[in-house]
């Protein structure tokens, strides 16, 4: 399905996109074919925002190769503006392989329903992201209402950190900066700087901050929402995702905790990005605090019950109806994959 491009760009996602090759369940060496799809934290968020009717652009770098052309086409077909993507003639598009568990007794097989990512992104086109990419897209960035980035992008290279620092320290002029911690330890191995220092600096420089409790504990020593709020009082919106149980959201001094929906998890990859996309779309639509969290949960549920990184979302009208239910109706609500196609 080709989504119409909204007339005005309200949100811009800045970061790496990757071609994804999804293996058949079972040991990777036994997969005769792979399903190609698209992934990457900011790319996933851009797709969710566009699906929910928010005019969205993606700023990135891809290689002058088939995977790069595929990513641009993939997003354009879903209504995302890709005119700010630079095609690098010397570097390749990032790639990762998704290995899926078959649940057999073989020692090299994963448990059924689990997956593992093997990244091939070292020296990718997006690792060359730098403040020059912001200068090249200055008009687009000045006119938008929200800019989204993540800890994945800042980890790619020193120049990528310069880019994210430039965004989080720039005068706002009415714009919001959204930052998702998205800590990936393997990406920081090649860096000499402290990941905790860089990520803390960029969280404090954001207006909307997303953290998983488990990754926050790994980086900052605590996953407790109250303690994290004490450590990071600067973002007006601070959202702590407590695994599959609930999400704690701070809006200024107000705190709300919203339980997750009941569902059967297919795999967890992409759920955090879908949550961020739903939350940000609701924020740009002016929804109240609790509905921001509910939109996030509903979009995350679509990702948790699917197989790709990019969530197949229910219609917007259905999301709006469910996000406005009573507390008791929400607590009793469950989510099934078929809802995404209804």
- Sequence-separated (6 or more) residues with CB below 8 Å from residue 290: 256, 258
pLDDT at 3: 47
In the beta sheet, which residues pair with residue 86? 61
Q: Could you list the mean pLDDT of each consecutive 10-residue stretch along the chain, which spans 342 residues?
A: 62 96 92 92 95 95 97 95 96 93 91 85 94 95 96 96 96 95 91 95 98 96 96 98 85 92 69 92 95 90 67 80 89 70 46
pLDDT at 253: 92
Do residues 203 and 240 make contact, with C-beta atoms less than 8 angstroms apart?
no
What's this model's pTM, rounded to 2 decimal places?
A: 0.92
Please state the length of the chain.
Answer: 342
Q: What 8-state DSSP symbol labels residue 268?
A: -
> 215 to each of 197, 224, 234, 265, 302, how far by Cα in Å?
15, 11, 19, 20, 22
State the Cα–Cα distance between residues 246 and 297, nearest whole angstrom.
Answer: 9
State the Cα–Cα distance between residues 118 and 236, nearest whole angstrom.
Answer: 35
Do residues 91 and 63 make contact, with C-beta atoms less than 8 angstroms apart?
yes
In the beta sheet, which residues pair with residue 250? 238, 255
pLDDT at 315: 82
- HSE (CB half, 13 Å, CA atoms) of 302? 28
> 125 to each of 17, 84, 152, how far by Cα in Å?
10, 14, 14
Q: Annotated active-site positions, please?
A: 273
Q: How many CB atoms lie within 10 A of CB 290?
A: 18
Q: Which domains does the chain have, with CATH numbers?
A: 11-326 (3.40.1190.20)
Q: How many CB atoms lie within 10 A of CB 242?
A: 17
Token pair of 151, please? 């800890």
Packing angle between helix 41-51 and helix 271-284, nearest 10 degrees? Answer: 40
């Amino acid at each position: 399905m080709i989504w119409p491009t909204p007339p005005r760009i309200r949100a811009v996602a800045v970061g790496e996109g990757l071609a994804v090759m999804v293996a058949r369940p079972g040991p990777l060496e036994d997969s005769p074919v792979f399903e190609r799809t698209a992934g990457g934290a900011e790319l996933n968020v851009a797709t969710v925002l566009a699906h929910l009717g928010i005019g969205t652009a993606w700023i990135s770098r891809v290689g002058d190769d088939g995977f790069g052309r595929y990513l641009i086409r993939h997003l354009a077909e879903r209504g995302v503006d890709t005119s700010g993507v630079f095609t690098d003639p010397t570097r390749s598009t990032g790639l990762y392989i998704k290995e899926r568990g078959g649940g057999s007794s073989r020692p090299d097989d994963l448990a059924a329903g689990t997956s593992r990512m093997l990244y091939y992104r070292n020296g990718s086109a997006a690792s060359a992201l730098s403040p020059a990419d912001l200068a090249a897209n200055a008009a687009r960035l000045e006119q938008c209402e929200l800019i989204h980035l993540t800890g994945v992008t800042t980890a790619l290279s020193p120049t990528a950190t310069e880019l994210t620092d430039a965004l989080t320290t720039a005068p706002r002029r009415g714009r919001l900066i959204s930052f998702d911690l998205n800590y990936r330890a393997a990406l920081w191995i090649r860096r000499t700087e402290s990941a905790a220092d860089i990520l803390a600096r960029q969280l404090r420089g954001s207006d909307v901050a997303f953290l998983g409790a488990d990754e926050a504990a790994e980086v900052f020593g605590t996953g407790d929402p109250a303690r994290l709020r004490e450590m990071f009082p600067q973002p007006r919106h601070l959202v702590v995702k407590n695994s599959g149980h609930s999400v704690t959201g701070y809006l200024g001094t107000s705190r709300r905790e919203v339980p997750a929906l009941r569902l059967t998890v297919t795999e967890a990859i992409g759920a955090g990005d879908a949550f961020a996309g739903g939350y940000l779309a609701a924020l740009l639509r002016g929804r109240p605090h609790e509905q921001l969290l509910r939109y996030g949960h509903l979009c995350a549920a679509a990702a948790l019950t699917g197989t790709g990184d990019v969530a197949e979302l229910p219609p917007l009208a259905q999301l709006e109806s469910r996000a406005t239910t009573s507390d008791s109706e929400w607590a009793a609500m469950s989510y099934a994959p078929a809802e995404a196609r209804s």
